[in-house]
Structure 1
Amino acid sequence: MRGMRFARTIQVKLVIIYLLLILVAMQLIAVYFIGTVKSSLTESFTNNLKEQADILSKLSAQSLAVKPEQGGEPSEQTADLSLVVQNLFSISGTEVQVLDVTGKIVATSLQVNQSYIGKKNTSLAVSRALQGITDNEDEIIDDDNVRKKMIAQPVIYNDKVVGAVYMVASMNDMYDTVERVNRIFVSGTLMALGLTGVLGVVLSHTITSPIKGLTRHASAVAEGKFDLQAPVHGDDEISRLSMAFNNMTSRLREALSLNEEENEKLVSVLSNMSDGVLAADENGRVIVWNRRALELLGLDTGEGCKLTELLGLSGQQIQEMLKGPVKTAVLSRGWDEDEALPEGKSVLRVTFSPIHRRDRGITGMIAVLQDVTEQEKLEQSRRQFVANVSHELRTPLTTIKSYAEALAGGALEERELSERFVGVIQSETERMIRLVTDLLHLSRLDSNQAQLRRRQTDILEMLDEVSDRFSFQLRQKSIRATVKVAPGLKSAWLDRDQIDQVLDNLVSNAIKYTLDGGEIELSASAPDPGSVAISVRDTGIGIPKKDLSRIFDRFYRVDKARSRNMGGTGLGLSIAREIVKAHGGTIALESELNEGTKVTFTLPTLKEEEGESA
């Protein structure tokens, strides 16, 4: 595997390119040069044979032209030609024949072929030469696989063909020369390739070495090492590339530094936001979230979750939210706005904002979560308060109006009837006065305008006085009242008037809802050295469990009709809770239906100097 990677490197590719260039060049030169040498040697060899054939034809022309009837002796002519041919034209491996006009061999250069004298040469070249054709040459391969050159020239005397010269010469020496030249080129090519390979390695190293250095620096930059600089040698293309790379690294380092700074700011902002933030991609899958979002949704992580699952909204609803301007939705999670908000439930306001990309449109969305539970509770309380006040005032006003109209209509003349009507009007008026008084008291408590006037108060004395104030009502219903104070509990610093009002409200409620012959107990104890707990327990009709969580709400009544008939405004327990809270204490109610109710409020026991400063 490593060898394959090395074979694919630029250095190897450059060396291969050099070698291929040299190889191709040498092959082209060899083909051209060897072809030229071969052609030149062949032409020179052929011309040499032709020149010898011309000389021999001139020398033998007169001898071949002499006929026996002119007084010549053929045997002497033949002997002279044989001597000339054997001595002057004895080229190594070359056979020279002189033929007469009839094609018979008159003389030959080879001693072994002397027996051919007088015999006829029937080759085509000889026949063409005897016909006066001068261009008769050919290359032949004999039985011994020897390549030879064959030439036949006519012998002309007085413009008459009197014979022919036939020459066959071996071309082995010429082809050996060509082969030696070829071997020289092969050797030169191998030497050139070897030298080129060495030079190619050296030269390619000068190119690949800076590239390798740049590669190492690029890998280091990819790993986050931006302090490294690529070396710059000279002013060539690679050096300029190194300079550009160093410049790019510096700018990238600055850009990443700014990006990290911005990311840190963004993370810090998201982490410390009081609102939750969820960012989702185009598929609705959550990709970014902050800690507050997980707290509001009650999750450990948002990884792999979809926005539709987290918010309980359908994909179509979210798509509708993303159309047009920024839109919001309120998530109540199974709570009806017309009902009271259950404990532990929360209301979230979600603001959707699309993420746009210029070339792709909407590529995601951002959802901002706000906990509006307290706001919703306040709004619900405001609506209920307005509705309750309107209802509480409307009933007596309607009664007063009805009786006033009756009096104006003639009932005033009947004394007994008019007195009863006036009594009802007075009763309803007093009821409205009590309601307004309680509302003003609550308003002062809410705005912290009701200043506490703490003083040393004897607990037992305070509880006895409360029991005495309600003695008439207790005797009317035959209710037995008892007061119990824990041993050692003497006094506490508190606003006596305010606490008396709390006790009056609690005892009044206990008397109202306790049947004749029942029992009411006022007790005080010290659950710890720093507090005092005062309880009012009765054996009345009790309160259903479903109403216990709202029993301290303003204008809340368990039995609305019965409470109004008893003259209550529905604000007593609310006032009691606010007074106890103003003292820094707590109030709690325990009740069992048809068994009784126990209300306990706990106050801190302050020292004298603490009470005065408070």
Structure 2
Amino acid sequence: MKLSSFFRTIQVKLVIIYLLLILVAMQVIGVYFISTVKQSLITNFTSNLKEQSDILAKFAAPSLSPHVEAEADSTDSTTEDLNLVVRNLFSISGTEVQVLDFNGRIIATSLQVHQSNIGKKNRSLAVSRALQNISDNEQEIMDDDHIRKKVIAQPVVYNDKVVGAVYVVASMTELYETVSRVNQIFISGIFIALTMTGLLGVVLAHTITSPIKGLTKQAEAVAEGNFDLQAPVLGDDEIGRLSMAFNDMTVRLKEALSINEEEKEKLVSILSNMSDGVLAADEQGEIIVWNQRALELLQIKKCEGMQLSELLSITPHKLNELMQARGQTYIVTGDDEADGDDVKEPGMLRLTFNPIHRRETGIVGMIAVIQDVTEQEKLEQSRKQFVANVSHELRTPLTTIKSYAEALQDGALEEEQLAERFVGVISNETERMIRLVTDLLHLSRLDSNTSSLRKQRINLHDMLDEVADRFSFQLHQKSIQTYVSVERGLKTAWLDRDQIDQVLDNLMSNAIKYTLDGGAIYLSAKRSALISDLQISVQDTGIGIPRKDLSKIFERFYRVDKARSRNMGGTGLGLSIAREIVKAHGGSISLDSVLNEGTTVTMNLPLLQEGGDRA
């Protein structure tokens, strides 16, 4: 692996490219050069042989003439003379030269070993062509000893008549040895050139790859998050400008990542501290971004990879409709939750959808903002219910007053007993409306914090005794026993006596109303488990309240048994006023009841010393 990775480096590739270029160039040059040298040597060799053969042909022409031969005493002297000339002329080169007459018989030869061939006929094609006065007769042959030879046959012309031929067979061994030596010299030159090129290529490749290695090192550092390294700038060439550009890019990338990180921190901080939930989904509807508030509102632990339509219980078709425009809203109502015997009202979530647009692409995702509007809806419903209850509470006595007034106008006034009863009813209904309006005004002052508290030191035992005394007549009528108890050591507290008396009167009145004859009511005051709080409770043995009504008992105009409560003269605001008064004191009020067993209302009030300091 290391060897293969080494050969994949740029430096090795550059050296190999240099070597291949030099090798190809030298090969082309070598082939051309050696071919040219070889061709030149062959041409010179052939030309030399032709010149020698021409000289011999001119010299032998008179001797080969038939006229000369006829006049001669014998042919032996002619043959001997030609052999002598041929041997002397071509003895150095070792070339075989034959002189032939016009019949193709060998007259003379340059080789001593071939003297026996004199008088024999040379039947080669070149000789036949030369005797036909064809001058261009040359060829290369390979003899039995695998020696390449050059064959030339020249006609011998005397008085424009072919009288014979000169046949030359020359060995080309020295010529090809010369070519081979040149080839070896050239190959040695190639190896020397490749070696020098390799060494020079390593040096030159190093000058190129060194800054590239620096850039690679910096790129690896940048990939690991280190932006402090700078690539070396070794010149003003392309690599130098690349290094400068890379350094500038590193600085800009560092700044961009810093800004991006800062924006990301801002986004995370914003999302984490938003009171609304945020969900972001891609174009496939898969959730990619969310905040903790969204998980809390949807009552889930994680939503990564979930589909937005599945998470929000919205059909894909409806979700696609909501994606088409900005600010589309959708209300989701949760399921009812059972907590023991209580059933909690379902929460309501308002979803606001905004599509994510990308230039030249269109919608690539969606952002859903989740708001818990349960309390808003409850307040709206409470407001509507309050208006309806006030209207109803006022309408009933007004209708009664109007009916009895009309009856008096129609003649009932003339009947004394009937008139008195009607006037009494009108008076009672008027007082009922006055109590209702008074309670509403009192609640309004408590809501607006315009009803200031006038706290003073109150003896708790005296206060509870006075409450029992104020209702002694009603208690006596129903034979209800009253028990007052104050914890030992607990004597006084700083309270607004009038306000607390109003709360206790209301609680006492309710206890008497819903306690059957012969029952009991317990008034007690003690320190709570927090020691610094005062706990005042009113407990009865009455009919109790159903568990399903306990969570709403302090709501305005709420009645467990509406018809019975109204007949008993209640306005439905007593417990609401009691709660607001206790809250104004900085305390809390709670109610616990068991149906047909009794009810206990407990107030927890701050136990203050004189001057407002805690006990």
Cα distance in 2, alignment partners of residues 530 and 229 from structure 1: 69
2:158 corresponds in structure 1 to 157
Map of 1:77-88 to 2, 5 A cutoff?
A: 77-88=78-89
Q: CA deviation at 1:346?
A: 4.6
Show CA shifts across 1:493-529 (max 9, x none).
2222212211111111111111222222222233354
Query: TM-score scaled by structure 2?
Result: 0.93
Provide the secondary structure at the position in 1 that maps to 2:552: coil
Q: Give the total of aligned pairs.
A: 609
Cα distance in 1, alignment partners of residues 382 and 488 from structure 2: 42
2:534 corresponds in structure 1 to 532
Map of 1:378-397 to 2, 5 A cutoff?
A: 378-397=379-398
Show CA shifts across 1:295-327 (max 9, x none).
434444443344334434333333332222312
1:370–1:239 distance in 2 versus 1, CA, 3 Å: same
Letter in 2 for 1:160: K
Which piece of structure 1 moves more, 298-307 or 99-108?
298-307
1:295–1:71 distance in 2 versus 1, CA, 3 Å: closer
2:191 corresponds in structure 1 to 190
Q: CA deviation at 1:101?
A: 1.5
Cα distance in 2, alignment partners of residues 164 and 395 from structure 1: 161
1:38 corresponds in structure 2 to 38
1:362–1:342 distance in 2 versus 1, CA, 3 Å: farther
Where structure 2 has 5 or more consecutive residues not aligned to the other structure, the ranges are: none
Cα distance in 2, alignment partners of residues 85 and 494 from structure 1: 160
2:476 corresponds in structure 1 to 475
Show CA shifts across 1:236-280 (max 9, x none).
121112222222222222222333333333333333333333322
2:597 corresponds in structure 1 to 595
2:495 corresponds in structure 1 to 494
Show CA shifts across 1:460-490 (max 9, x none).
2222222222222222222222323333332
Provide the secondary structure at the position in 2 that maps to 1:318: helix
Letter in 1 for 2:609: K
Which piece of structure 1 moves more, 350-359 or 19-28?
350-359
1:12 corresponds in structure 2 to 12
Q: CA deviation at 1:335?
A: 5.6
Tell me if the contact between 2:322 and 2:328 (Cα under 8 Å) persists in the aligned partners: yes
Which piece of structure 1 moves more, 269-278 or 42-51?
269-278
Provide the secondary structure at the position in 1 that maps to 2:230: coil
Map of 1:340-419 to 2, 5 A cutoff?
A: 346-419=347-420
Map of 1:16-415 to 2, 5 A cutoff?
A: 16-65=16-65, 66=67, 69-334=70-335, 346-415=347-416
Which piece of structure 1 moves more, 229-238 or 294-303?
294-303
Cα distance in 1, alignment partners of residues 571 and 201 from structure 2: 107
Provide the secondary structure at the position in 2 that maps to 1:150: strand
Show CA shifts across 1:516-567 (max 9, x none).
2222222223335433322222221111110111111111100111111111
1:158–1:571 distance in 2 versus 1, CA, 3 Å: same
Provide the secondary structure at the position in 2 that maps to 1:609: coil
2:609 corresponds in structure 1 to 607
Provide the secondary structure at the position in 1 that maps to 2:363: strand
Tell me if the contact between 2:87 and 2:110 (Cα under 8 Å) persists in the aligned partners: yes
Cα distance in 2, alignment partners of residues 561 and 217 from structure 1: 86
Percentage of identical aligned residues: 70
Cα distance in 2, alignment partners of residues 494 and 375 from structure 1: 34
Which piece of structure 1 moves more, 288-297 or 580-589?
288-297
Query: Aligned-residue CA RMSD in angstroms?
Result: 2.3
Cα distance in 2, alignment partners of residues 120 and 388 from structure 1: 154
Where structure 1 has 5 or more consecutive residues not aligned to the other structure, the ranges are: none
Cα distance in 2, alignment partners of residues 554 and 357 from structure 1: 53
2:583 corresponds in structure 1 to 581
Cα distance in 2, alignment partners of residues 251 and 417 from structure 1: 99
2:545 corresponds in structure 1 to 543
Cα distance in 2, alignment partners of residues 71 and 467 from structure 1: 190
Please, which of 557, 563, 566 is the counterpart of residue 565 of structure 2? Answer: 563
1:454 corresponds in structure 2 to 455
1:335–1:393 distance in 2 versus 1, CA, 3 Å: farther
1:85–1:526 distance in 2 versus 1, CA, 3 Å: closer
Tell me if the contact between 2:532 and 2:607 (Cα under 8 Å) persists in the aligned partners: yes
Q: CA deviation at 1:71?
A: 4.2
Cα distance in 2, alignment partners of residues 320 and 555 from structure 1: 43
1:294–1:96 distance in 2 versus 1, CA, 3 Å: same
Provide the secondary structure at the position in 2 that maps to 1:278: strand
Q: CA deviation at 1:372?
A: 3.4
Q: CA deviation at 1:596?
A: 1.3
Tell me if the contact between 2:325 and 2:354 (Cα under 8 Å) persists in the aligned partners: no
Cα distance in 1, alignment partners of residues 559 and 595 from structure 2: 15
Show CA shifts across 1:360-383 (max 9, x none).
212222222333343333222212
Cα distance in 2, alignment partners of residues 159 and 609 from structure 1: 163
1:329–1:68 distance in 2 versus 1, CA, 3 Å: closer
1:527–1:156 distance in 2 versus 1, CA, 3 Å: closer
Provide the secondary structure at the position in 2 that maps to 1:183: helix
Provide the secondary structure at the position in 2 that maps to 1:610: coil
Q: CA deviation at 1:331?
A: 3.5
2:436 corresponds in structure 1 to 435
Q: CA deviation at 1:293?
A: 3.2
